[in-house]
């Protein structure tokens, strides 16, 4: 059983994974670093966004004195919670030290949106989808299948909770209640990061935490993102910020001024 922060898995069809295992998520150009968060997010994934490699990229940016700003470019439906808390904490630490922003290319849902909320601002392309705030897990009950096949499975374990929900075991109401509590606990970390990153009350975040996704304009209206812009214009304005600023200390006030120039016309 895996607890997941993700939008509808059918959205995975949007991604072309060819060649991704050989690509690093980190790219440096002058004083700016970009981190690609593309595809399903998981600590052990071979394709998509590998949490360990993303952590390594964040650490490399923090330790490189020549890098003054970082952009997380996101196109992801979300993913597994394993390692996500560590990654979000490190992204938050990076944002406290260097100018760190997010740009949504097409999709920024669930776990990907939690990552974006840990940066100083979020800009999205006009046709992108954002949100899917929430957490879920799946418990598969295949006991009836084995029963029809004439197979009876006997669970022998060292404790009453050991081996529950394993192959052939009936999923009980008590098991569902236990897993629901785990999902709710994990989800609270998600809600807290959205509340802190977006400057929203927990009550307001919970109203949006229905699992729904929204296009960029509506996301901006709901406070989920800051601005709507095409990527070339966004990059031009972000690069100009560093061309004019020699100091490595670019505070949030300057980021807010940058936001005003990123509105999609």
Residue 195's φ and ψ, nearest 5 degrees, are -60, -45
Q: Can you spell out the DSSP letters for 72-96?
A: EEEEE-EEE-TTHHHHHHHHHHHHH
The burial of 160, by beta-carbon neighbours within 10 Å (0-12 exposed, 13-18 middle, 19 or more buried), is given as: exposed
Q: Are strands 32-38 and 26-29 parallel, antiparallel or unpaired?
A: antiparallel
Distance from the Cα of residue 228 to its chain's centroid: 19
Q: What are phi and psi of 143, to 5 degrees?
A: -65, -40
User: Considering the entire predicted model, what is its pTM?
Assistant: 0.84
- Find the domain containing 94 and state its range: 3-139+189-259
146 located within any domain? no
pLDDT tens for the 265 residues of the chain, in order: 456 555 544 444 444 444 444 468 998 888 899 999 999 999 876 678 999 999 999 999 999 999 999 999 999 999 999 999 999 999 999 999 999 999 999 999 999 999 999 999 999 999 999 999 999 998 898 988 988 899 988 888 898 888 888 888 889 999 999 999 999 999 999 999 999 999 999 999 999 999 999 999 999 999 999 999 999 999 998 888 766 554 444 444 444 444 444 444 3
Residue 207 counted as domain residue: yes
In a domain, 173, yes or no: no
Domain count, the chain: 1
Tell me the C-alpha distance between 118 and 190, whole Å. Answer: 11
Q: Tell me, yes or no, whether 133 lies in a domain.
A: yes
How far does Cα 106 stand from its chain's mean position?
A: 13
Rounded to a whole number, what is the largest CA-CA distance in the chain?
A: 74
Output the domain CATH number for residue 127.
Answer: 3.90.226.10
d(CA 151, CA 112): 42
Could you give the CA distance from residue 202 to residue 189 in angstroms, rounded to a whole number?
11
Contacts of residue 241, Cβ cutoff 8 Å, sequence gap at least 6? 69, 99, 250, 254, 258
Residue 253 tokens read as 């006030």
Question: What does the block give as tokens for 160?
Answer: 């009453």
With H, G, I as helix, E, B as strand and everything else as coil, classify residue 116.
helix
In a domain, 230, yes or no: yes
For residue 249, being part of any structural domain is answered with: yes
For 46, which DSSP code?
Answer: S
* Residue 17, in any domain of the structure: yes
Per the CB < 8 A criterion, the answer to whether 111 and 78 are in contact is yes
The pairing of strands 49-50 and 32-38 is: unpaired
Cα 230 to Cα 15, 54, 131, 217: the distances in Å are: 20, 24, 19, 13
Other CB atoms within a 10 A radius of the CB of residue 1 amount to: 13
Residue 7, domain member (yes or no): yes
Q: How crowded is residue 257: how many other Cβ atoms within 10 Å of its Cβ?
A: 10
């Amino acid at each position: 059983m895996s607890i997941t922060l993700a939008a509808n898995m059918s959205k995975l069809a949007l991604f072309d994974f060819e060649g991704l295992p050989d690509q690093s998520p980190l790219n440096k150009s002058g004083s700016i670093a970009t981190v690609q968060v593309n595809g399903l997010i998981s600590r052990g994934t071979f394709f998509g966004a590998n949490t360990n490699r993303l952590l390594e990229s964040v650490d490399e940016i923090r330790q490189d004195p020549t890098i003054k700003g970082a952009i997380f470019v996101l196109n992801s439906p979300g993913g597994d919670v394993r390692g996500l808390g560590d990654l979000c904490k490190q992204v938050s630490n990076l944002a406290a030290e260097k100018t760190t922003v997010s740009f949504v290319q097409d999709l920024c849902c669930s776990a990907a949106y939690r990552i974006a909320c840990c940066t100083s601002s979020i800009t999205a392309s006009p046709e992108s989808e954002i949100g899917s705030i929430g957490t879920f897990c799946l418990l598969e009950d295949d006991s009836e299948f084995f029963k029809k096949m004439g197979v009876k499975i006997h669970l022998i374990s060292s404790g009453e909770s050991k081996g529950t929900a394993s192959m052939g075991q009936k999923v009980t109401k008590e098991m569902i209640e236990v897993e629901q509590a785990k999902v709710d606990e994990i989800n609270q970390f998600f809600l807290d990061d959205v509340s802190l990153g977006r400057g929203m009350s927990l009550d307001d975040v919970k109203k949006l935490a229905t699992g729904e996704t929204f296009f960029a304009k509506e996301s901006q209206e709901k406070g989920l993102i800051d601005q709507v812009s095409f990527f070339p214009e966004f990059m031009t304005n972000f690069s100009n910020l560093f061309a004019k600023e020699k100091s490595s200390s670019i505070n949030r006030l300057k980021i807010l001024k940058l936001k005003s120039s990123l509105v999609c016309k």
